[in-house]
Chain A
Amino acid sequence: METSILSLLIFLPLLGVVGMFIAYTLKQDDIIFKYIALLATSVQLLLTVWLYFNFDPSVALSSNISINPVKFSVQVPWIESFNIQYFVGIDGLSAPLVFLTSLLMFICILASWNISKHVFAYFALFLLLDTGMMGVFLSLDFFLFYIFWEVMLLPMYFLIGIWGGPERKYAAIKFFLYTLFGSVFLLLGMISLYYYSGIESFNLIALISAAPSISGELWGFQVKYLIWIALFIGFAIKVPIFPFHTWLPLAHVEAPTSISVILAGVLLKMGTYGLLRISYPLLPGEVVAFAYTLAILGVINIIWGATNAIAQKDLKKMVAYSSISHMGYVLLGMAAVASTSAAGSQAGMNGAVMQMFNHGVITAMLFLLVGMLYDRAHHRWIVFPEDYEKPELAGKLGFGGVSNKMPIYSGFVMVAFFAGLGLPGLSGFISEAFCFIGRFSIFKFLTVLGTLGILLNAVYFLRAYQRIFWGEEGASTQGLSEISIREIVILSPLLLLVVALGVYPAPLIDIIQPAVQGIIDTVQSAL
């Protein structure tokens, strides 16, 4: 079990696809595909729960010493002539994200139960996406990492393109081109690391000790610096960091609910995960040199995302922009790694990883809630836009008084919104506070500027809540019905996590702390 569990996590969804294909050739009913997908993801979820209880966070993969076999890790040669390995492993950095992925996958399969268009294709692509995401978080060989990274693009393209909203074709190709543009730079950086490091290996653990010794110049720049830039472009587009963010609002808004959840909940984390897993330990000198820029970009993300969110009339677009803003906190925490105070860098980095997890949960909840409202009202305007198809409605509130019609739903939304704006007692607060504390130890002015974001977050979340749930009942509010048991089941685990981690975040910190400490030690060796 110990050696096969990670491979099982990665390839179980693929097995599900094979099962679905067999069912497809046997001309089975549509419902069978849903059950197979549900089975695959629920087994995956159970496996991650087992993993959680057997996980030993004290073993950090990122520390300088460890090429020693770590619990659960598997290392077998794949392409010997090029020294490519099938190398998977898990540490405190990837564990929360693996758990997040399997939880969100399970929830999203349930949330897309009503899909009736091309059911087989939908669930098959969804499981393929699952394989890609798990692979990214678990691989410790750069080549393997890259392959899983790219594998996700194709299912995502079709999932947005076939099941999305009115602008879906444009959104799908824009997403595809943007992310491909990033990943080709990643590819260049990867191959350069392979040859310049001198060990001709993609092994990320071995590269930790080999990569910092890269020397050489190209076009008047240090090669190391260029590799950092190439990797950064690749990861920044995924995060997305301003100014590479323009694919995000479109893709999130056009995607069907479950896909938005996965996009915001998991895919965005891959960018920051890649930075922490690859750029940070491998190129510590450049990280330190780049920390200030990263901090500025983080602040821009926070303010830009929040101010854009304020301007949105579409609820889903507002949530999408809030994602950009929230990912800014992650960058902010990550920039604190260069802090000379030990407590500061620890708080910042822990906060960043926690924020990755917490934002995954919160934003998943937000998108699910928006989806539920859209399913009922068939629109999600906070305020109808000027060019709305019914001119008599233009400029009027989209909803109003929803809390009378859907009290339970409003409760969920309230918790999600408050978690999003960082109310103490909910999980978002803890991680945001950690990010600020960490960052304050090094970039004081930027941190103060960044705290503006909290205020701006409160503006759009509270205003949206007020306009939709309070006041007089609008025209669209009339036909709304309370959410069903299935929907409550979908939302409850997320709600539980938000509240539990807000009150008692220690379990999460205990897992993250040793791994993050390893990264901090590696980076600070270059200070």
Chain B
Amino acid sequence: MIYLDNILSLYYFQSEILLCLGVLLLLIVSVYKNPSIKSFYIILSTLVLSLLSTLYLIFDQASLSTGYKFLFLESIVIDPYSNFFKVIFLLSVLMVVLLTYNNKEVKREDWSEYYCLILISTLGMFLMSSSLNLLMIYLAIEMVSIPSYMLAGFNHNDKASNEASMKYVLYGSFASGLMLFGMSWIYGQAGSIYLDDIGVYMMNSTQFEFTSLISFILLFVGFGYKISSAPFHYWVPDVYEGSPTPITAFFAVAPKVAGFALLIRFLYTAMAQLNFSTYSIEAIYVDWNLILAVLSAVTMTIGNILAIRQSNVKRVLAYSSISHVGFIMMGFAVVSFTAVTHMLFYIVMYCFMTLGAFAILILFTDKYSFSSVSDWNGIGFIHPIICSLMVLNLLALAGLPPSSGFVAKFYIFATIIQSKTYYWLAVVAILNTVIALYYYFNIARAMFLESPSERTPEKVDYITATVIAITSIQGILFYVYWSDLYNLIQGLF
């Protein structure tokens, strides 16, 4: 453990600093004439540089040998866990940015503003994955949320987009208000905003279980809203539907993953007592695993059942993302390092398959202005390869072999059964898998089983095709061999 002062911290803060520089450059460029292509290159290079510097920090022998780095008076930690999430954020944001390049939903003249907001949001997600105190956590969440509100309403002249933004703001501010209230409760009890100190307080004050429970619930409103767990999921479908599709893809992946990164760290630092020498959990406070297990079952069931009746593909994917959150939360039912490993594994797979599905949705929405499932009729025979990849992504989302989604689901089930408790959750989850298959394969049915409507085939550009290929092919890749990825995640803590 190394504690660094503000100046020395900056070296380890380099990937975040690069993102800040990117934001500043984008702001400067936006006053020039024709900023669109310039800002595209700026964000591209910012993301790539930030990725490189993160990787450099990961592989830097000096930083590896000395373990965790606590920066800025223990506000922020640089550890393998946060680095892992940073790589995920950067990769998924990179995919989203590439998908926007040929997309007409976000107008070119707005690009500098649009990319600027995405970068700020990315910076917020970086902080979310590495915050160690409540103040940092709150700031990080707001740093992700506020640009997101603006992104949701990015089609200024579109009523649905405005509605999405408005709903997002209302829900978001209410949730963060409650979360702040919860934080004040915790601070009032523990006398500290640092997660470690809160953990120590929780350990010593078992007689105040009830107040701890209330503060946990209030805090979870904020977290739950960020990861869109039930009952804080109501904003998801409307916001997803109203936002421009590339932004929906962004919402479905990056902030959600950041929410999980934060939630896992919070629960395992402040609400549980770990023993790192034996890799075991000594104690957990306020039985959050039971609360989250119930919420997990509710979330996945609500997500799946409501998805059945949806006709708009964006809404289907929105509800599907809610149900996936339920599946990931199954991992919270069991408090162990294995459970976290399996959750992270699921999260990685979720990112890829959701991005894959959205990449194809973005392509078709752009080329043929698709909205409802019936628009997809017969498209499978116009773009056979892309639609086959879509089937692969749908399989992965449904969690069936041959796809990486199956492996992810398998591990989550294994977590539950290994613990030999919460069997009911496993049963709820398998029934949900069957329900999910129905609405995912509604899309597959439309693509291949319905007779095609007349439309002229459009050419697919190379950038979008590449993104689709990268995000979809992993579905089969991680199905055939995932050992190394699993070991990598296992080595994070």
Which chain B residues numbered 415 to 439 have a C-beta less than 8 Å away from chain A?
417-418, 420, 423, 426-427, 430-431, 433-434, 437-438
Q: Which of A82, A154, A177 contacts B438 (CB 8 A)?
A: A177
Interface check B279, CB cutoff 8 A = no
Interface check A81, CB cutoff 8 A = yes
Q: Which of B400, B445, B486 contacts A180 (CB 8 A)?
A: B400
B433:A169 contact, CB within 8 angstroms: no
Interface check B487, CB cutoff 8 A = yes
B441:A157 contact, CB within 8 angstroms: yes
Interface check A173, CB cutoff 8 A = yes
Given contacts A80-B483, A169-B445, A180-B437, contact A194 B406 (CB under 8 A): no
A81:B406 contact, CB within 8 angstroms: no
A189 CA to B434 CA in the complex, in Å? 16
- The binding surface of chain A is classed by DSSP as helix
A177:B483 contact, CB within 8 angstroms: no
Some 7 contacts from A to B, beta carbons below 8 A apart, are A118-B381, A154-B402, A158-B449, A162-B448, A187-B410, A188-B430, A219-B423
**B427 / chain A contacts, CB cutoff of 8 Å:** 188
Interface set of A (CB-CB < 8 Å, partner B): 78-82, 118, 121, 146-147, 150-151, 153-154, 157-158, 161-162, 168-169, 172-173, 176-177, 180-181, 184-185, 187-188, 191-192, 194-196, 216, 218-219
A147:B426 contact, CB within 8 angstroms: no
A188 CA to B413 CA in the complex, in Å? 8
**B430 / chain A contacts, CB cutoff of 8 Å:** 184-185, 187-188
> How far apart are B2's CB and chain A's nearest CB, in angstroms?
30
Q: Nearest residue in B to A148 (C-beta to C-beta)?
A: B401
**B426 / chain A contacts, CB cutoff of 8 Å:** 188
Q: Nearest residue in A to B482 (C-beta to C-beta)?
A: A79
**A177 / chain B contacts, CB cutoff of 8 Å:** 434, 437-438
- Beta-carbon contacts of B461-481 to A below 8 Å, as 1s and 0s? 000000000000000000001
**A169 / chain B contacts, CB cutoff of 8 Å:** 445, 449-450
Nearest 10 interchain pairs by C-beta:
A184-B430, A150-B401, A161-B449, A191-B417, A147-B401, A79-B483, A181-B434, A195-B418, A169-B449, A191-B414
Interface check B395, CB cutoff 8 A = yes
Interface check B102, CB cutoff 8 A = no
Given contacts A79-B482, A180-B433, A195-B417, contact A161 B400 (CB under 8 A): no
B441:A173 contact, CB within 8 angstroms: yes
Which chain B residues numbered 16 to 47 have a C-beta less than 8 Å away from chain A?
none
A81 CA to B448 CA in the complex, in Å? 38
> How far apart are A510's CB and chain B's nearest CB, in angstroms?
36
> How far apart are B351's CB and chain A's nearest CB, in angstroms?
21
> How far apart are B403's CB and chain A's nearest CB, in angstroms?
9
A82 CA to B445 CA in the complex, in Å? 35
Q: Nearest residue in B to A216 (C-beta to C-beta)?
A: B420
A150:B413 contact, CB within 8 angstroms: no
Interface check B374, CB cutoff 8 A = no
Q: Nearest residue in A to B341 (C-beta to C-beta)?
A: A81
> How far apart are A524's CB and chain B's nearest CB, in angstroms?
30
> How far apart are A148's CB and chain B's nearest CB, in angstroms?
8
A172:B449 contact, CB within 8 angstroms: yes
**B444 / chain A contacts, CB cutoff of 8 Å:** 157
Interface check B490, CB cutoff 8 A = yes
Given contacts A150-B406, A177-B434, contact A162 B449 (CB under 8 A): yes
> How far apart are A293's CB and chain B's nearest CB, in angstroms?
22
Q: Nearest residue in B to A161 (C-beta to C-beta)?
A: B449
A192:B400 contact, CB within 8 angstroms: no
B449:A195 contact, CB within 8 angstroms: no
Given contacts A81-B486, A188-B413, contact A176 B441 (CB under 8 A): yes
A151:B401 contact, CB within 8 angstroms: yes
Q: Which of A121, A161, A192 contacts B445 (CB 8 A)?
A: A161
